[in-house]
Structure 1
Amino acid sequence: MSSAATMSVSTRDTERYEEKDFGFWLYLMSDAVIFACLFATYLVMVGNAAGGPVPKDVFSLNRAAAETALLLLSSTTFGIAAVSLWAGDRSKVLLWLAITFLLGAGFIALEFSEFSGMIAKGAGPDHSGFLSAFFTLVGTHGLHVSVGLVWILVMIGQVFAKGLTAPVASRLMRLGLFWHFLDIIWVVIFSVVYLPGLL
């Protein structure tokens, strides 16, 4: 079945998808406001270590770089899945979504390891304002990535069961917006939190 035939929709359906896209953009903008508040809080609190560990004591540039590489690579693989979607190639969509999931899961594993290691060293979120703001900002992003991973699994199931129908394609494109948004937020975290803290 061709992609045009698979994803052909009526004018009414198109309007419905456009309304959902608009609503999703509103959600992303509200999420951006939340992250802006978390960044502002971190910048205010980063100097409040309460005599405990400071960023240089707890951050690892190698780990942060590995997390960044995994997440940016996952954005690339999702882009390939989107290209495969418009080409009407269901098997490649499934393959690249699965690879995106594995890369995202690797990111979460590294972040969990970072958090557990910090807590084991006595640098938990209850130790200082700096650590509380750090765990809140980075943890909120990690929670979003975890939700994205669940969403990817759901979409893999839908693509497998329903094929590349117009509703499935519409949901995949919104997932793409969400996933790329998280990549942008992480680049800002890397630039605002990790690099200044280590350099």
Structure 2
Amino acid sequence: MSTTAHSSAAAISYWETEPHHHPEGASTSLGFWIYLMSDCLMFAVLFAVFGVLGQSYAAGPGPKVLFDLTLVAINTAFLLVSSITFGFAMLAMHEGRQSRMQAWLFVTLLFGLAFLAVELYEFHHLIEEGAGPQRSAFLSSFFALVGTHGLHVTFGSIWLVTLMVQINRKGLIPANQRRMNCLSMFWHFLDVIWIGVFTFVYLLGMI
């Protein structure tokens, strides 16, 4: 073989690569963590906006007049309990008890929908009282922050229903278990964000 042919063969061999076998689901977990980090940044911006505009009432009503802290505390309990029931669903999944897991997921969904119902009632009441998002910078930032969290709970509930259907059809296959793990992280993440909202927006606003 000539020197030129040998060099060409060596170059081809150099650029040929073996297919790399990555653990199944590794890219899914990494991608979802990246998504959660981007969500953290978005909520950090919304908290910062509320921190800047939260005292700008434009001669309108403030938190002490508008907020029903008892109702918000009940709503907070709904979301926190839903996180506990999701934990029970995860335990049932690891034990391979599909029926029990589905039952706990359904209970989690009910608490999530109850949270959304109370939040919608609060928004409706505020708007009926003339305290809509256009009334002041405080209310604009309030509706933006709390409403964005509510949209996340809505999407999480839709995801929960979709996953329940997939599990009912295909069982606890590895793909569905990965989806459960991702949804679990997302649901607990929403709880952490809401604790921040409850503390920063409602509790401190009542002082």
> For this structure pair, what is the TM-score category when the shorter chain's length is used for normalisation?
over 0.9
One-letter identity of the residue aligned with 2:162: V
* 1:26 to 2:34 alignment: yes
User: TM-score, length-normalised on structure 1?
Assistant: 0.93
State the distance in 1 between where 2:105 and 2:179 align.
13
Q: CA offset at residue 59 of structure 1?
A: 0.8
* 1:39 to 2:63 alignment: no
Alignment match, 1:81? 89
State the distance in 1 between where 2:137 and 2:90 align.
41
Alignment match, 1:50? 58
State the distance in 2 between where 1:157 and 1:32 align.
29
Identity, % of aligned positions: 45
Aligned match for 1:17, one of 3, 7, 25: 25
User: TM-score, length-normalised on structure 2?
Assistant: 0.89
Aligned match for 1:113, one of 104, 109, 121: 121
State the distance in 2 between where 1:58 and 1:162 align.
48
Which one has a bigger Cα radius of gyration? 2
Question: How many residues matched?
Answer: 188
Partner SS for 2:124: helix
Partner SS for 2:180: helix
* 1:123 to 2:113 alignment: no
Q: CA offset at residue 16 of structure 1?
A: 3.3
State the distance in 2 between where 1:111 and 1:127 align.
19
One-letter identity of the residue aligned with 2:73: A
Unaligned runs of 5+ in 1: 1-10
Alignment match, 1:4? none
* 1:138 to 2:149 alignment: no
User: Structure 1 stretches (4+) deviating beyond 2 angstroms?
Assistant: none
Alignment match, 2:183? 175
Aligned match for 1:148, one of 134, 149, 156: 156
Cα-to-partner distance string for 1:154-180 (whole Å, 9 max, x where unaligned):
011011111111000000100000000
State the distance in 2 between where 1:60 and 1:160 align.
40
